[in-house]
Amino acid sequence: KVVAVIMVGGPTKGTRFRPLSLNIPKPLFPLAGQPMVHHPIAACKSIPNLAQIFLIGFYEEREFALYVSAISNELKVPVRYLKEDKPHGSAGGLYSFRDQIMEDGPVQILIFYLCELAFLSFLIYHLERQLCYSCKKNATPEQNSLIFLLNCDVCCSFPLPEMLEAHRRYGGIGTLLVIKVSAESASQFGELVADPVTKELLHYTEKPETFVSDLINCGVYVFTPDIFTAIQNVSTQRKDRANLRRLSSFESLQPATKSLPVDFVRLDQDILSPLAGKRQFYTYETMDFWEQIKTPGMSLKCSGLYLSQFRITSPNVLARGDGMKSPFVAGDVYIHPSAKIHPTAKIGPNVSISANARIGAGARLISCIILDGVEIKENAVVIHSIVGWKSSIGTWSRVQGEGDYNAKLGITILGEAVTVEDEVIVINSIVLPNKTLNVSVQEEIIL
């Protein structure tokens, strides 16, 4: 059995994503017209024998309920949201749901679909008992199971079948996706050294202060169930150390030093660093695109990367237009079917327009994300910007960023329900929800 787990974090994480994460959990923010988490989920479809997908986070369950049920039906793979009562760290979160992750097998999947037919509930009850019994008799050894673990805030082509194949060749507890980045940017990630021939992970340091390597951890892994033992070992060692400290501080009457809770385990610092060089982990290097999505600027860049990937994987999702009956479309563009675009508007490249947006005559949109219910009036220009839900941009106005996706004010962001009045220019600025701009601003954060 193969399962996939996507770590979605919770409301106390993703703070660099504000003001956009004030309205919606970051994993549900749309990139290329689909929630951020949809892209790794859709990629999981390419894993052979995939039984189930779990999202683990500490957001309220109701925030994911609609999405999870819609995507389960669409992909025909059960997707479940599992809520942590508090943050347990990237490995601790996985460990806290080990029973659900390992136990849910084909029987439960069958039941998942049957449950949709409520009138058959009595029959399902008996079928479940019958199937569970025969399944237990022929149970596949747990050792044959594999768990994919994906960070929700990375954008890449998710080469999961290739990783699976590499992992089967290497053996070990797990294989992680890695990529070469520039030496200047490497320190924002986990830097690692791998054996050039065997691909074994030899050394791992999380966000080091001094340069180690330009090869970094992409936050995409495949593990055997032995990963649970490795996590359990970290907790046990921590518990033992805490007991020791308590005893020694009792003897010396010194206050015990504070350490991490025993059930808070980080995949990188607590598992990969100590186990590197012990023939436990291997690496698979991607030559394709990869980015991390921590800020609104990066979400705009990644929306563009996913749109260009659609050109190869699902070209019918992209808008086509010639400026006659439909607007003129340049490059990769997504337009929700309910959006109303005037035929004289010119849209693209890298534009994503959500539901019920209205774009007026002569408007020009380049490199932007337009969220639900936005109105862009006649002859307005929007470039390198994200326009929040139900905002309105007046006639002949200009909302623009310089397009530096890594800089804090490198794009313009309008929060929910912002009004930019007619003929107002907003450049490289962040505007918090419910503000009205009647004068032009540049490089400002409007609170």
Positions touching ligand GDD (CB under 6 A) are 7-9, 13, 56-58, 84, 87-90, 93, 151-154, 189-190, 206, 216-219, 266, 268, 292
* Cα dist from 255 to 245, 249, 250, 258, 262, whole Å: 9, 6, 8, 9, 19
Residue whose CB is less far from ligand GDD, 90 or 309: 90
Smallest gap from residue 209 Cβ to ligand GDD (A): 14
Write down the least CB distance from residue 44 to ligand GDD, Å. Answer: 15
Q: Find the shortest distance in angstroms from Cβ 65 to ligand GDD.
A: 17
Other CB atoms within 10 Å distance of the CB of residue 41 = 26
Rank residues 218 and 300 by Cβ distance to ligand GDD and give the closer one: 218
Pull the structure tokens for residue 215. 């090869």
Nearer to ligand GDD, 20 or 218 (CB): 218
C-beta of 337: minimal distance to ligand GDD in Å? 31
Give me the residues paired with residue 281 across strands.
174
Which CB sits closer to ligand GDD, 149 or 437?
149
Burial 393-417 (b: 16+ CB within 10 A, else e): bbbebbbbbebebeeebbbbbbbbb
Nearest to 408 by CA among 394, 423, 429: 429
Least separation in angstroms between CB 150 and ligand GDD:
8
* Other beta carbons less than 10 A from residue 103's beta carbon: 10
Strand-pair category, 375-376 with 392-393: parallel
Closest approach of ligand GDD to the CB of residue 217, in Å: 4
Cβ atoms of 241 and 248 closer than 8 Å:
no
CB of 40 to ligand GDD, least distance (A): 10
Task: Print the SS3 string covering 4-51.
Answer: EEEEEECCCCCHHHCCHHHCCCHHHCEECCEECCHHHHHHHCCCCCEE
Nearer to ligand GDD, 56 or 437 (CB): 56
Distance, CA of 327 to CA of 417 (rounded, Å): 25
Which residue, 148 or 189, is less far from ligand GDD as judged by CB? 189
Angle between helices 121-137 and 106-115 (to 10 degrees): 170
Q: At 264, which amino acid appears?
A: F
Q: Within 226-318, where are the H helices?
A: 226-252, 273-275, 296-313
**Which residue, 174 or 327, has its beta carbon nearer to ligand GDD?**
174
Q: Looking at beta carbons only, is 292 or 299 nearer to ligand GDD?
A: 292
The CB-of-83 to ligand GDD minimum distance in angstroms stands at 9
**Minimal distance in Å, beta carbon 91 to ligand GDD?**
9
Name the token pair of 168: 């089967």
Helix, strand and coil percent figures for the chain, each rounded to 5: 35, 25, 40
Q: Which residues pair with 398 in a beta bridge?
A: 381, 425
- Least CB distance from residue 243 to ligand GDD, whole Å? 24
The two structure tokens encoding residue 428: 């490289």
Helices (H) and strands (E) counted in the chain, each on its own, are 10, 31
- Could you count the other beta carbons within 10 Å of the beta carbon of residue 247? 11
Smallest gap from residue 281 Cβ to ligand GDD (A): 13
Residue type at 335?
I
C-beta closer to ligand GDD: residue 6 or 363:
6
Closer to ligand GDD at the Cβ: 34 or 90? 90
Taking the least distance from each CB to ligand GDD, the nearer of 292 and 385 is: 292
What is the residue whose two structure tokens read 């260009």? 308
